[in-house]
Chain A
Amino acid sequence: MAGPSGTTLALDGDGLETVIAAVRQRGYTVIAPTVRDGAVAYEPITSAAALPRGVGDEQGPARYRLRERDDDALFGFAAAPSSWKRYLYPPATTLWRARRDEHGTLLFDESAAAVPRYAFLGVRACELAAILVHDRVFAGAAHPDPTYAARRRELFIIAVHCGSPSGVCFCTSMGTGPRAREGFDLGITELLDTATPRYIVEAGSPAGLELLESLAASPATVQDLEAAQAVTDVATEHMGRHLETGGLPEMLQRNLEHPQWDDVAARCLSCGNCTMACPTCFCSDDVEAQAPDGETSARVREWASCFSHDFSYIHGGTVRETVRSRYRQWMTHKLGTWWEQFGTSGCVGCGRCIAWCPVGIDITEEAAAIRASDGRGRGSA
């Protein structure tokens, strides 16, 4: 329960405000959940007043709604539609610029954008796991991505352990939540057992500890710690979805020709919403952006989706011509081949792809349907 320090504080709502102030004082831009256009969005905030008070959510296949809670919870909802990935891996990033010198010789300038210092407040366990996945993809690579690596280095993470999982959550299946175990600077559990919420705050890193020790607050009692543990214990019992992960990569691998792929292909619109919403999907296009004056041209990396028809285009045609093959690519990557590539699952169980699929395709159901008739689609790979 306690961080490596053993220091855990119990704060009230005002105490949470002092945490935000202390983080801001250290030069961070705080990004946190707030309500925008009928959904929770992770946006810059300057005060706890911007947090969604008394707001819950209802999520299901192709369904997301906010609801009013009967308490003053500030973190009474599950994963928000848009994940944190856009802050560390922006939807468009200039990689480098090309220009010509007076002799017409091409010159290249590395893009040198200022590095924002973000503090993410309200990172869920599954979302933290997704950041750790991207660490492997972008920072642990042979050629680390400079934008990601620089932003990540500056990042301060305040995790909030989950008390209100939604109908599409399955972090327990993926072993990622509902309690964040590693990778955060501060970890918060919101306790709703009193008239106004209380916050049990633990340190998970030296930077987190330094911040905690700067606060004038009372340490959490043994009862507080037990209550905090109970919050996530209860959440574990309220997962909206379940995914059987035993032998999953091998199971998919031997079912690459399973009829279920045709079944899902008949429903899938190949819109790519799932890939945009997913906190671990990392595919991108490199596109050319010539400056209007024609003097320079930039190479820009933009989010892309393996669902687009030309994603696998090579001279002579598209490799994954059918929706069947594209859905199969996406799902077997998330749940299967990711392991071989990055030593981890590509799915953290946040459920976003289920809620944001316009036709309600559910990755857990598709995997279960294949498993239910395991072997009907033997592939040789």
Chain B
Amino acid sequence: MTPVSHRVVGRRVETADVVTLQLEATDGSRLRYAAGQFNMLYAYAVGEVAISISANPLGGGPIAHTVRNVGSVSRALCGLQIGDTLGLRGPFGSDWGLDSAAGGDLVIVAGGIGLAPLRSVITQVIAERDRFGTVEIVIGTRTPEELAFKAEVESWRARSDLSVHVTVDRATPGWRGTVGVVTTVLPRVHCDPAAIALVCGPEVMMRFTALALMERGMPASRIRVSMERNMQCAIAQCGHCQLGSVFVCADGPVFTWERLEPLLAVRQL
């Protein structure tokens, strides 16, 4: 699968090591995707990396990717400026399945950069707010400085039809909000067992979040998590992303906890 050339039409520095790029295809084509899917982004002469889409799929605007600088490719991507081009192939993988959640409550839990794929879903939910019941959003970061999409999170907080909880592992001067990992907030969150939970963050955070949600009475089948694995082909052919019988690139990245829990229970599977 050959990438399509995309131009950076918007760039926002989110935190010290996170940048959001807004992209438009140079051939004018438009990508159709669902919240939760990812693309392979290519930096010239460096390589490709899997990055989830952080834009509203219904927004009609440029596609957005929020990239954390953790390796050579993501560093090159973070360094791109408006007007620069990159390669994009996708979209790949499963999505958050928002349609199947319509009519019910949502509990959205993000850890760190895990907010990026969930921002895609949150912006879509806001655009179609009537389709859902209560919407609880829990966002955890290590420090207040590491919170991405700050202005947007503030605008979500300001809405009466969303309930937004931000917590940090470690407060820094000036922080007056909650301190503690996301699971310390979960007991305070409205959580109907019939709700759908969407969870993305580090693996250990997702595990503890899923356990905490199950303690609140949610079945594992209603908890959806987005997995990270080494992805190279993104089309179930290179083998890198396998987890048991699952190809995370094609069968995931979004799985129910019911499907994932037994796989993650085996160390180094």
Contact = CB atoms under 8 A, between A and B. Distances in A.
A319 interface: yes
B151 interface: no
Contacts of A306: 239, 242
A96 B5 CA distance: 13
A324 B268 CA distance: 9
A137 to B, nearest CB: 7
A341 B268 contact: no
Contacts of A104: 85
A132 to B, nearest CB: 17
Contacts of B238: 283-286, 301, 304
Contact of A110 (B2, B230, B232): B2
A107 B5 contact: yes
A340 B243 CA distance: 12
Contacts of A237: none
Contact of B240 (A106, A288, A312, A336): A312
B240 A380 contact: no
Contacts of A336: 245
A11 to B, nearest CB: 40
Contacts of B149: none
Given A104-B85, A381-B262, A304 B229 contact: no
A65 interface: no
Interface in B1-47: 1-5, 7, 26, 42, 44-47
Contacts of A287: 47
Contacts of A110: 2
B239 A288 contact: no
B239 A304 contact: yes
A98 B268 contact: no
A286 B47 contact: yes
Given A100-B44, A315-B70, A380 B262 contact: yes
B236 interface: yes
A36 interface: no
Contact of B237 (A138, A329, A380): A138
A381 B263 CA distance: 5
Interface in B180-199: none
Interface in B213-265: 228-230, 232-233, 235-240, 242, 244-245, 247, 250, 262-263, 265
Contacts of B229: 312, 314, 319
Interface residues of B, number: 42
A311 B240 contact: yes
A47 interface: no
B218 to A, nearest CB: 20
Contacts of B230: 311-314, 319
Interface stretch (A141-149, A189-197, A266-274, A350-358): A141-149
Contacts of B228: 314-315
Contacts of B26: 105-106
A109 interface: yes
A333 B242 contact: yes
Nearest to B243: A319
Contacts of A95: 1-2
A283 B230 CA distance: 13
B136 interface: no
Given A329-B242, A337-B244, A322 B268 contact: yes
A127 B162 CA distance: 59
A256 interface: yes
Contact of A379 (B45, B71, B237, B266): B266
A23 to B, nearest CB: 30
Interface in A306-331: 306, 311-316, 319-322, 324-325, 329
B45 A290 contact: yes
B269 A325 contact: yes
A7 interface: no
A379 B86 CA distance: 43
A304 to B, nearest CB: 7
A28 interface: no
B2 A109 contact: yes
A173 interface: no
Nearest to A281: B239
B87 interface: yes
Interface string A44-61: 000000000000000000
Contact of A297 (B44, B71, B232, B247): B44
Contacts of B70: 315
Interface in A208-257: 256-257
Contact of B44 (A106, A142, A325, A340): A106
B265 A381 contact: yes
A376 B256 CA distance: 29
Contacts of A297: 44-45
Contact of A286 (B233, B245, B268): B233
Interface string A282-303: 1111111010001001010100
A108 B48 contact: no
Given A106-B86, A337-B244, A381-B265, A142 B2 contact: no
A282 B239 contact: yes
A141 B235 contact: yes
Given A325-B269, A337-B244, A381-B266, A108 B239 contact: no
B159 interface: no
B176 interface: no
A281 to B, nearest CB: 8
Contacts of B267: 325
- Which 5 residue pairs spanning A and B have beta carbons closest together? A283-B239, A325-B268, A337-B245, A340-B245, A106-B85
Given A294-B45, A336-B245, 10 more contacts: A98-B45, A107-B5, A141-B235, A143-B237, A301-B233, A301-B238, A314-B230, A319-B269, A320-B269, A324-B268
17 contacts: A138-B237, A256-B269, A284-B237, A285-B238, A286-B48, A286-B232, A311-B239, A312-B230, A319-B229, A320-B269, A325-B268, A325-B269, A329-B242, A333-B242, A379-B266, A380-B262, A381-B262
